[in-house]
Amino acid sequence: MALPVNVTALLRSSSQLAEERSKPLRLAIVVEPDAPDALIDAMRERFKPHTANARLEIEVCEPDARLVFGSATDAVIGVVGSGRACIAPTLAEARERALPTLAVGLAESGHEIAEAAGNPYADSVADPDADRVVDAEVASWLVERLPGKRLALAHNFPFMRSAVAEEAVKATALQNGLIGAVVIIPGADMPLMTLNQAKMMLQIAAAYGEHLGAERVKEIGAIVGGGFALRAVARQLLTVVPGFGWAVKGAIGYGGTVAMGKAAVAYFERGGDLGDITRKVVEVRDAAVARLRSDRGELSRAAGELAAHGPALEAQTRGSAQVPDA
């Protein structure tokens, strides 16, 4: 069966993801002498490179001394104690060299750590729990500040996988929501959405260390089938809610992609492989389609209530969705 997506593009994407996963990664971790032992242990446990492409430079700062890091350093992470010991000058030196710099500590608020380390609040994270601040806050910061090294981070540090995968889901869902809302040619949105979903699944697989090769294209068939099913539901809803087609298609493009991506992340977290995940996605998708079709009467009543509010509501919602011609 011919897949209604560009298989060559998928193979190219798979190759590019493998290259991104192998990018060199250089992180510097500066520890203040009075930093909490629990936080030091949490950082030591998470930051153990799994490949030779990742290198860590770990230093303990000294009073009245500035550590200098090379231009190849991707980010500097300061493990903060009281802040009075020595961390501020070193982080200031890194910022002067335009290096992404994070201050992390155990506190109720990031403001406390920012003030203690003399670091910008946007680049300071805190939590009373050491494991939580590393798994959630440090991971999120690295994903945001090192977009070109996300897959390399996930490939080397398992605690980064969930954050990297969820960012891929969010970005793809936003793209598909926009495609569904603005593409007006019947059927033209489905190939774009399904190609995006297929690439998203490959990104998630890459983040979790799955092998990426030509055989994965066969497993993409389930995702393409999901696109067909979602498109069928969209057509059904369009007949029930006339005048709001752009909103329905946008919602399905966004929501369907989020559901598919989160299902994949959940199964990878439990140790599943891509083949098992795609089968489960199909099961969940088919159940959702059946439910929507059985609830057609309820949708009709909802459509009647929308229509009763008159054209003013439609004009208001249409106006909020306008985008430039580009």
Q: Check residue 128 and report its DSSP letter.
A: S
- Domain positions in the chain are 26-149, 161-320
Give bridge partners of residue 126 from the DSSP assignment. 105
Max CA pair span of the chain: 73
| pLDDT above 70 coverage of the chain, percent | 64
Q: Domain 26-149 has what CATH class?
A: alpha beta
Give me the pLDDT at residue 36, please.
Answer: 95
**In whole angstroms, what separates CA 158 from the centre of its chain?**
15
Give me the pLDDT at residue 237, please.
Answer: 55
Residue 205 pLDDT level (bands cut at 50, 70, 90): confident
pLDDT tens figures, 20-40: 999 999 999 999 999 999 999
β-bridge pairing 75-79 and 54-60: unpaired
Higher confidence at residue 93 or residue 141?
141
Give me the pLDDT at residue 316, please.
Answer: 45
pLDDT tens figures, 283-314: 665 665 566 556 655 555 554 554 455 444 34
pLDDT tens figures, 69-127: 888 999 999 999 987 768 998 999 999 999 999 999 999 999 999 999 999 999 999 99
pLDDT tens figures, 44-62: 999 999 999 999 999 998 8
Spatial separation of the C-alpha atoms in residues 195 and 189, rounded to whole Å: 10
93 with 79: CB under 8 angstroms? no
**In whole angstroms, what separates CA 189 from the centre of its chain?**
22
Q: Taking 90 as the threshold, does the pLDDT of residue 315 lie above it?
A: no
Give bridge partners of residue 60 from the DSSP assignment. 31
3-state secondary structure of 82: coil
CA atoms within 13 A on the CB side of 295: 12
**Alpha carbon separation from 288 to 22, 72, 130, 273, 299 (Å, rounded):** 38, 48, 39, 23, 14
Residues with Cβ within 8 Å of 190's Cβ and at least 6 positions away in sequence, in order, are 4, 227, 228, 231
Give me the pLDDT at residue 262, please.
Answer: 83
| The overall pTM is greater than 0.85 | no
Q: Taking 60 as the threshold, does the pLDDT of residue 243 lie above it?
A: no
